[in-house]
Structure 1
Amino acid sequence: MTPVAAPEAPTGAQQAVEFDTDKGTLGSEQKGFWEQLALALFIGIPFLALLAAVPVAWGGFLGWHDVVLAVVFYTLSGHGISIGFHRYFTHKSFKPNRPLKYALAIAGSLAIEGPVVRWVADHRKHHKFSDREGDPHSPWKYGTSLGALSKGFMHAHIGWLFDTEQTPQRQYAPDLLKDRDIVRVSRMFPALVLFSLLAPALIGGLWSWSIEGALTAFFWASLIRIGLLHHVTWSINSICHTIGDRPFRSRDKSGNVWWLAILSQGESWHNLHHSDPTCARHGVLKGQLDTSARSIWFFEKCGWVSDVRWPVKERLEARRVRAAEV
């Protein structure tokens, strides 16, 4: 079993109350009709925007304001997922101070991939059963034939999101349910969704002082940004568990996909991550760009994080695949 970092012991006010799963965060352990509908809209509309991106840009409805806003919001929300939701809240690869903990939870929520507790519960379950029965999103779910893998690939990329049965939060994220700060951010998710959608339009409109500036900013920095980030994140589930180099031993089929590295903030160096899940850096080999790890390094230099689990040479060498094993 791939280890998941032990939950951080709650302190102070966090020990006062243990929140009930259904009341502490949004949603129950079963997806209802309205949740399914909202999910379909938040997947479908940005995807249609992605399809329309080229003709819209060709028609001149793309300015440098839109590019700046899209890059800023993509970088903020993407690193909120990779550094916050994934490397900290799921795997405890480092310990942030309280303001940074809040900031990471909020930034990750802006990606509109679900409340932090729900996201963490799903990902911890994925690691527990990676590419085996029980994994929420393995592309190998239906078998290894071409047809089965094609079906599994679509399940891993998007289909699993529509499963009505959800991962039990109390079982897989009890530490977060005891953390008042994180439960508070999870409850704020609808408001953060609205902010993520509308803030680019507001900034774009004020920046250009025009309705057109607001509309193009909404298209590029809201719809396109969200759609692209969603599919990059889901590609780690689908593409990076189907193809890619595997220089480190892992009990699953996780691989490194270099051409996703920049867009995924280093998450596509996925083989080392599954070989050593609590490591704060995923791109550990020469030339493997990992902007999330570089950001954690910066936070450490600023004194905002401590106890960072950086890669250890001896530990990496022990996990390397030797020529005789290939």
Structure 2
Amino acid sequence: MTSSSDVIEEAPMANGTPYPSATLGGEQKGSIEQITLLLFIVVPFLALVAAVPLAWGWGVSWLDLGLLVFFYFLGCHGITIGFHRYFTHGSFKAKRPLRIALAIMGSLAVEGPLVRWVADHRRHHKFSDAQGDPHSPWRFGETVPALMKGLWWAHIGWMFDEEQTPQDKYAPDLVKDPAIRAISRQFVYWTVVSLLLPPLIGGLVTMSWWGAFTALFWGSLVRVALLHHVTWSINSICHAVGKRPFKSRDRSGNVWWLAVLSCGESWHNLHHADPTSARHGVMRGQIDSSARFIRVFELLGWAYDVRWPSRSRIDSRRTTGDDGSRSRKAGAEAA
């Protein structure tokens, strides 16, 4: 989370004049922002922990479950299709309405301002699992204690680092877009919308405050916590374990059991082998719902110039052998 007073230094325009208040989320995290971030990690996590005994003791209504699932996958696809494959890597081009919709959908995931998210991820790819990577689990070494510390850092710890990625350096294209810059600056607003929509719907459907409360618990708090930890697992787990059938210069791996919940992002080895590919799950049986939606957008004419991976492109990135043993060795040497 960020404070509206935290903005990056004004990025210069082509004619030398600065962009006004480029984006919410600057290059230094203040104490207020760090405290707010802590609350947005701890409170939903406590709700996630409490969800198990509550569901066992009192159950969960179909309405609450439906709100959780709907808003989870709305935000998840906003991150995977919008923030990640579109805004960060340019896996396809989008017409203006889809571009705006993806920016808002991703913001509803409550994972930080759009421009900051993109800048961090582009920096991650530039230095993946090497010095300069903002969230590599191999940051502290390869011993078991060092890896345990690194997994914590990659999963959550890095977000409390005061030093932030320069957004005018890593995401100048987004800083220059007035609409995208505005949505990024409005992150607090979209967070409020994301948290209040489920209880509003739950209260109206049940016509009760209790219905609003349970919808807030399941559709907002539990949903946000689950989505956060699944997304963060791509940074931590998918850079520590998993099969590596494709050549990459880091330790990114495919973790199959995260595929559905991550909307296809956990086929992470192919992504790092071919970052601009619109599809990450390219092998038989690899579920990638984000790629399916991109295909639908393409058929509807909303998306175009989609970078689908060709067979020759996929084969050129394969390692020798399907077990990924050679790529694990290559990843270790690269790190």
Distance in 2 of aligned mates of 1:35 and 1:20: 23
CA deviation string 1:8-41 (max 9, x = no partner): xxxxxx98997648x1211321000110011000
Change (3 A) 1:170 1:131: same
Show the counterpart of 1:279: 277
Question: Does the aligned pair in 2 maintain the 1:201–1:217 contact within 8 Å?
Answer: yes
Report 1:19-38 matches (<5 A).
Answer: 20=19, 23-38=21-36
Gaps of 5+ in 1: 1-13
> Structure 1, residues 46-74: CA drift from partner, whole Å, max 9, x if none?
01111100111123252000011111100
Alignment-derived partner of residue 236 in structure 1: 234
Aligned residue in 1 for 2:160: 162
Assess, with a 3 A threshold, how the Cα gap between structure 1 residues 20 and 68 changes in structure 2: closer, same or farther: same
Which residue of 1 is the match for residue 208 of structure 2? 210
- How many angstroms apart in 1 are the aligned matches of 2:281 and 2:270? 8
Distance in structure 2 (CA, Å) of the matches to 1:147 and 1:201? 42
Of residues 79, 87, 91, the one that matches 1:93 is 91
| Selected match of 2:177 from 176, 179, 185 | 179
The equivalent residue for 1:133 is 131
Q: Which residue of 1 aligns with 2:6?
A: none
Which whole-Å deviations, capped at 9, do the CAs of 1:213-270 have from their partners, x for residues lacking one?
Answer: 1000000010000000000000000000000000000000000000000000000000
Task: Specify the SS of the correspondent of 1:24.
Answer: coil
Corresponding residue of 2:44: 46
Task: Find the counterpart in structure 2 of residue 250 from structure 1.
Answer: 248
Q: Which moved more, 1:175-184 or 1:57-66?
A: 57-66
2:24–2:186 Cα contact (<8 Å) kept: no
Normalised by the length of structure 2, the TM-score is: 0.91
Question: Deviations 1:151-196 (Å, cap 9, x if unpaired)?
Answer: 0010000000000000000110000001111001112111101000
Q: How does 1:77-156 map to 2 (within 5 A)?
A: 77-156=75-154
Q: 2: CA distance between counterparts of 1:34 and 1:127?
A: 29
What letter is aligned with 2:141?
Answer: G
Q: CA deviation at 1:315?
A: 1.0
Alignment CA distance shift 1:29-1:243 (3 Å): same
RMSD: 1.6
Instruction: Report the CA distance between 1:325 and its aligned residue.
Output: 3.8
Q: For 1:101 and 1:16, locate their aligned partners in 2 and report how far apart those are by CA, in whole Å.
A: 26
User: What is the rounded CA distance, in whole Å, between the counterparts of 2:220 and 2:178 in structure 1?
Assistant: 29
Q: 1:146 to 1:313 in 2, by over 3 A?
A: same
- 1:309 aligns with 307
Counterpart mapping for 1:51-66 below 5 A: 51-60=49-58, 62-66=60-64
Change (3 A) 1:152 1:214: same
In the alignment, which residue of structure 1 is the partner of 2:74? 76
Q: Is the 8 A contact 2:198 2:216 kept in 1?
A: yes
Aligned to 2:292: 294
The total of aligned residue pairs comes to 312
Indicate the percent of aligned positions where both proteins have the same amino acid: 63
Q: 1:17 to 1:232 in 2, by over 3 A?
A: farther
Match in the other structure for 1:6: none
| Corresponding residue number in structure 2 for 1:197 | 195
RCO greater where, 1 or 2, for CA within 8 Å and sep 6 or more? Answer: 1
Contact 1:17 1:178 (C-alpha < 8 Å) held by counterparts: no
> How far apart in 1 are the matches of 2:17 and 2:297?
30
1:265 maps to what in 2? Answer: 263
User: Structure 1 residues 16 and 93 mapped into 2: Cα distance closer, same or farther (>3 Å)?
Assistant: farther
Q: TM-score, normalised by structure 1?
A: 0.93
Provide structure 2 residue ranges, at least 5 long, that are not aligned to the other structure: 1-12, 328-335
**Which amino acid in 2 is paired with 1:268?**
S
**2:63·2:202 contact (CA, 8 Å) conserved in 1?**
yes
Shift of 1:286: 0.1
